[in-house]
Structure 1
Amino acid sequence: MTFDDLGLLPELLKAVHEAGYTEPTPIQAQAIPIVLQGLDMMGGAQTGTGKTAGFTLPMLQRLAHHASTSSSPARHPVRALILAPTRELAIQVEDSVKTYSKYLPLRSVCIYGGVDIKPQIAELKEGREIVVATPGRLLDHVQQKSVSFAQVEVLVLDEADRMLDMGFIPDIKRILAMLPATRQSLLFSATFSEEIKKLADVMLKNPQLIEVARRNTVSETISHRVHMVSADHKRHLLLHLLKESNLSQVLVFVGTKFGASRLSVWLERQGINATAIHGDKSQQQRSEALEAFKAGTVRVLVATDVAARGLDIDDLPHVINYELPHTAEDYIHRIGRTGRAGKRGDATSLVAPEEKPRLADIEKLIKFKIEQVTLPDFDPGTAVYHEDRDRVRGRSRHGHIREREEHRPHGPRSSVALPRPAAHVPTIAPDGFDFSKPYEGKTGEGAASKSAAPPRRPVKPVAALLGGFGKKNNA
């Protein structure tokens, strides 16, 4: 089957062919005919399966009869609303909308938090048929009265399971209550939990269910491996992998924002060009870091799970889990950044002994055991790397250079401390005082007068405002 067999408009087919696509993916082949019929749909698909084009192309075709070259905002009301959990995913979806609608006079806008809201308000006032938004910023525009849902015909909820994880379901329910009852609704999710099914019952009407792969499965084009290592030496192992394997483009996942920043700084100090991306970064900083990574000027991108969804990086070869995620499903989303569109990918996890329960949960979810590759110098069961190597290299267990190190003679160690030769210290002072004898105070009147405590000075009065009793005369 080709895109020509799906009944798409010539304008859309031209844009698809220029983008280099000829055959639809399984999710596209199933979703496009359903959406073109105007039916509600619940789609189950993993990341990297092409689901964005699966709803974008038929949505554009359904809105094509509203296309207008008029500059009047009244001719460009919001007719399609696409909700995404993260800024990165929203930007990616809107890029796809622009790519496929280049030969149709339909306008789109992407609105998300972390940036100034005024330019977004200005774009909405000019009129936009398609709005791609994150839930929180969309509600900000609702409060600003800069967006109207009165003529919305199509609603798309992308990555619904991620919306649930990030706590956006209450915001989504508020948005659903503002939309017209008569509309087409599409919901996409990698997993279908009970909460997602309840949301689908509220959002969809007699939906068509399509699944292109088993739930919680990973791409067969990805190779998996695990390296067991103590938590204290993970960064040394990461540096070893980067240098010994000469990895060129690596996405490294950590658990916290602070950990991401600290690891990227440490890699920079070791001569590895790295940067971090996480929720505390501004949108401009995140965009610049991502573009530098895509362009190859940054070798390692250290990210939190904010980047596990929505990062669209062509031919990303390597993903490393510096820390395993707390939720097993997030492992699938993380490694879904590589091995996309049938290309080969590599997923490596650095697992500390205390993370073994998480590894077991992941293996239970994906239904196969991940190969464990032992590196003797970093295996937690070996003592060579832990203390001896750090001592030889003059570093502490945490990688800090020791300021002072005793030089000991070569040979077998002894548990008995050898006595040091005592240095010659004079015991008789020039004035005849003997330091080796116990101190004895002087006796007599002179001693008494010298040892007597000096008379105390009268206490000065303190002002009432400073907590005293007021000023007194001492005359």
Structure 2
Amino acid sequence: MLFENLNIIDPILKALKDEGYTSPTPIQEQSIPAILEGNDLEGCAQTGTGKTAAFAIPTLQLLYGKKRVEKAPIVIKALVLAPTRELAIQIEESFTSYGKYTGLKNTVIFGGVSQRPQTEALKAGVDILIATPGRLLDLMQQKYISLQHIEFFVLDEADRMLDMGLGHDVKRIIAKLPKNRQNMLFSATMPHKISRLMDSILVKPIKVEVTPVSSTIDTINQKVYFVEKRNKKALLIHLLKDKSFESVLVFSRTKHGANKITGDLVKAGIEAQAIHGNKSQSARQLALSNFKEKKIRVLVATDIAARGIDVDKLSHVINFDLPDVPETYVHRIGRTGRAGAEGVALSFCDAEERELLTDIEKVISKSIPVVEDHPYIISNLSSITSTSSAVKNKDVRKKAYAGKSRQSSYFRKNKKSS
């Protein structure tokens, strides 16, 4: 299957060719025709499967057709909501790339930076607005933005949006949208609370699910290192001596931890920078830019700050700390192995994290292979690994892990710290 077989218009096909894209991913192959036919769409696909292009390409094409016919003044006709600044920026870059020959204008707005450049762009006129909920509501209140002409609404990463406590803001925004519009909702997981949100937004949607919920991509080589907490830093530095670790995203559970890991790596002569919520937006964008341009080899991040990081050929993801919520593991390792490429995901597990590892293995329905040949292996490894009983049957998860309440309480507690 080629993009040419999806009835995509020449201006967009030309842009896709410029980007080196010829064949759609499964989520794109199923979503693009459904959206072009005017259907609401419910897309469930894990990160790294090409969700952004799945809604950006048809939205651009539909707007392009309307603009050529109507020749109306530029007003915001498409709104894309994203949970984090990094993801919003990534989506805006995709719209810019795919739509560069259409004449359509897009911009992105988010908090943490001066609003003036954003309001100036809005005054100049945009067809497509990509936004985080907080800044959007702020500028709506200041009368810089009107949503009365919206014809296309995209809610991306809906599960993380709710996990971050943004559900109320999302509902306030939806209440301001015209009732007659086309809706697209994308999410990596589909818990019950997402189902309720979908019911309130979507009208007779086409459902597209290209991978099992909470599964991990087959092209990612997953391994776990059992290591004492005090030796994690030494193990990380030991691994990074291997030059095959070309670009590495390291996950820390806390902002303080991310700073400490980064400092230790720099002291060891390894180029690294941190990205988390306490960093200014300019510092976050600089770190991400340096990472993408290979000026640094290691980026250390917290979960929320890393949402939306899309780096070509990211060779490794390392979980320095295991996540408290097992589904977060899926999101983390999905940063590598994107668009069919191979990737490696390594996890450090100390004795106190053994239960977290078990929860993760239950969610992904597989045991993660243990690396025993390393200099910092736990001395009593047999006693640790004997407790490992990864659950192969997903039905057991319902009994073994009451994830919903635990996930919600975790994000309420860590909304500020991560």
Check whether TM > 0.5: yes
For 1:418, the equivalent position in structure 2 comes to none
- Asked if structure 2 preserves the Cα contact closer than 8 Å seen for 1:81 and 1:130, the reply is yes
Task: In structure 2, give the amino acid aligned to 1:242.
Answer: L
Which whole-Å CA distance do the structure 2 matches of 1:261 and 1:67 have between them? 48
For 1:31, the equivalent position in structure 2 comes to 31
For 2:109, the equivalent position in structure 1 comes to 111
Secondary structure, counterpart of 2:225 in structure 1: strand
2:136 to 135, 138, 143: 138
Task: In structure 2, give the amino acid aligned to 1:324.
Answer: L
For 2:191, the equivalent position in structure 1 comes to 193
- Tell me how far 1:67 sits from its aligned partner: 3.3
Secondary structure, counterpart of 1:371 in structure 2: coil
Task: In structure 1, give the amino acid aligned to 2:14.
Answer: K
For 2:95, the equivalent position in structure 1 comes to 97
Unaligned runs of 5+ in 2: 382-418
Residue correspondence of structure 1 range 9-28 to structure 2 within 5 A? 9-28=9-28
For 1:417, the equivalent position in structure 2 comes to none
Which whole-Å CA distance do the structure 2 matches of 1:197 and 1:314 have between them? 32
RMSD across aligned positions (CA): 1.7
For 2:302, the equivalent position in structure 1 comes to 304
Task: In structure 1, give the amino acid aligned to 2:326.
Answer: A
Which whole-Å CA distance do the structure 2 matches of 1:192 and 1:246 have between them? 36
- Asked if structure 2 preserves the Cα contact closer than 8 Å seen for 1:97 and 1:108, the reply is yes
Task: In structure 2, give the amino acid aligned to 1:312.
Answer: D
Seq. identity, %? 50
Length, aligned pairs only: 380
Task: In structure 2, give the amino acid aligned to 1:235.
Answer: K
Residue correspondence of structure 1 range 378-417 to structure 2 within 5 A? 378-381=376-379
For 1:264, the equivalent position in structure 2 comes to 262
Residue correspondence of structure 1 range 121-160 to structure 2 within 5 A? 121-160=119-158
- Asked if structure 2 preserves the Cα contact closer than 8 Å seen for 1:67 and 1:104, the reply is no
Secondary structure, counterpart of 1:156 in structure 2: strand
Residue correspondence of structure 1 range 79-98 to structure 2 within 5 A? 79-98=77-96
Q: Which has the higher helix share?
A: 2
Larger Rg: 1
Larger relative contact order (Cα-Cα within 8 Å, sequence gap ≥ 6)? 2
For 2:342, the equivalent position in structure 1 comes to 344
Which whole-Å CA distance do the structure 1 matches of 2:243 and 2:151 have between them? 51
1:240 matches 2:238: yes
CA deviations over 1:340-376 (Å, ceiling 9, x no partner): 1111101100101000111001000111100111246
- Asked if structure 2 preserves the Cα contact closer than 8 Å seen for 1:222 and 1:345, the reply is yes
Task: From the superposition, tell whether residues 376 and 190 of structure 1 become closer, same or farther in structure 2 (CA, over 3 Å).
Answer: closer
- Asked if structure 2 preserves the Cα contact closer than 8 Å seen for 1:376 and 1:382, the reply is no
Secondary structure, counterpart of 1:146 in structure 2: coil
Which whole-Å CA distance do the structure 1 matches of 2:339 and 2:177 have between them? 35
Secondary structure, counterpart of 2:249 in structure 1: strand
- Asked if structure 1 preserves the Cα contact closer than 8 Å seen for 2:92 and 2:106, the reply is yes
- Tell me how far 1:226 sits from its aligned partner: 0.7
Q: TM-score, normalised by structure 2?
A: 0.88
Task: From the superposition, tell whether residues 31 and 280 of structure 1 become closer, same or farther in structure 2 (CA, over 3 Å).
Answer: same
- Asked if structure 2 preserves the Cα contact closer than 8 Å seen for 1:81 and 1:131, the reply is yes
Task: In structure 1, give the amino acid aligned to 2:21.
Answer: Y
- Tell me how far 1:379 sits from its aligned partner: 2.2
For 1:360, the equivalent position in structure 2 comes to 358
Which whole-Å CA distance do the structure 1 matches of 2:374 and 2:312 have between them? 34
1:286 to 269, 284, 287: 284
- Tell me how far 1:296 sits from its aligned partner: 1.7
For 1:327, the equivalent position in structure 2 comes to 325
CA deviations over 1:59-117 (Å, ceiling 9, x no partner): 1111113437x9x9x81100000001111111111111111111112110100111101
Task: In structure 1, give the amino acid aligned to 2:220.
Answer: I
1:176 matches 2:174: yes
Secondary structure, counterpart of 1:363 in structure 2: helix
Task: In structure 2, give the amino acid aligned to 1:353.
Answer: A
- Tell me how far 1:174 sits from its aligned partner: 0.3
Secondary structure, counterpart of 2:48 in structure 1: coil
Task: From the superposition, tell whether residues 376 and 221 of structure 1 become closer, same or farther in structure 2 (CA, over 3 Å).
Answer: closer
Task: From the superposition, tell whether residues 376 and 263 of structure 1 become closer, same or farther in structure 2 (CA, over 3 Å).
Answer: closer
- Tell me how far 1:261 sits from its aligned partner: 0.7
Secondary structure, counterpart of 1:17 in structure 2: helix
Unaligned runs of 5+ in 1: 384-475
Which whole-Å CA distance do the structure 1 matches of 2:106 and 2:244 have between them? 42
Secondary structure, counterpart of 1:67 in structure 2: helix
CA deviations over 1:255-279 (Å, ceiling 9, x no partner): 0011101110111112111110001
CA deviations over 1:143-177 (Å, ceiling 9, x no partner): 11100011100000000001011111110000000
- Asked if structure 2 preserves the Cα contact closer than 8 Å seen for 1:80 and 1:131, the reply is yes
- Tell me how far 1:6 sits from its aligned partner: 1.0
Which whole-Å CA distance do the structure 2 matches of 1:33 and 1:14 have between them? 18
Which whole-Å CA distance do the structure 2 matches of 1:256 and 1:176 have between them? 32
Q: TM-score, normalised by structure 1?
A: 0.78
For 1:230, the equivalent position in structure 2 comes to 228
1:43 matches 2:50: no
For 2:390, the equivalent position in structure 1 comes to none
For 2:393, the equivalent position in structure 1 comes to none
CA deviations over 1:208-252 (Å, ceiling 9, x no partner): 111011111111111111111111111111111112566232110
Which whole-Å CA distance do the structure 1 matches of 2:21 and 2:271 have between them? 34
- Asked if structure 1 preserves the Cα contact closer than 8 Å seen for 2:86 and 2:306, the reply is no
Task: From the superposition, tell whether residues 245 and 23 of structure 1 become closer, same or farther in structure 2 (CA, over 3 Å).
Answer: closer
Residue correspondence of structure 1 range 428-467 to structure 2 within 5 A? none
For 1:77, the equivalent position in structure 2 comes to 75
